[in-house]
Amino acid sequence: MLLVPRQLRRSGMTGDVPYYGGRFTPAQAYAASHPARPRPQPAADPLPALQHLLDTGVITAEEYRDLRARVNR
């Protein structure tokens, strides 16, 4: 929710994005209404993730051994 004075809000010109007297370009308006998603950080240790996949049945024991050997290289 953007807190904008009523005098500066002209939703008819730009849709739901507030209009600040021409200071927003279309690219800035799009960026303001679509915030960037944070990038997921890679796991520091992938072995617990592999163990979880094995425990939940996503991968087989043979696949687990192959993936673990690839990680340990």
Q: Are residues 4 and 16 in the same domain?
A: yes
Reply yes or no on whether the pLDDT at 13 is more than 80: no
**Does residue 45 sit in the same domain as residue 23?**
no
- Each residue of 15-69: pLDDT tens digit? 565 555 667 777 887 888 888 888 888 778 888 989 999 999 999 999 999 999 9
User: Do residue 3 and residue 26 come from a single domain?
Assistant: yes
Question: 73 and 43, same structural domain?
Answer: yes
- Return the pLDDT at 24: 74
Q: Which pTM value belongs to this model?
A: 0.41
Residue 2: give the domain boundaries: 1-36
What is the chain written as a DSSP string?
Answer: -----GGG--HHHHTTS---TT---HHHHHHHHSPPPPPPPPPS--HHHHHHHHHHTSS-HHHHHHHHHHHT-
Count the domains in the chain: 2
Q: Do residues 24 and 32 make contact, with C-beta atoms less than 8 angstroms apart?
A: yes
Q: What is the rounded CA–CA span in Å between residue 68 and residue 39?
A: 25
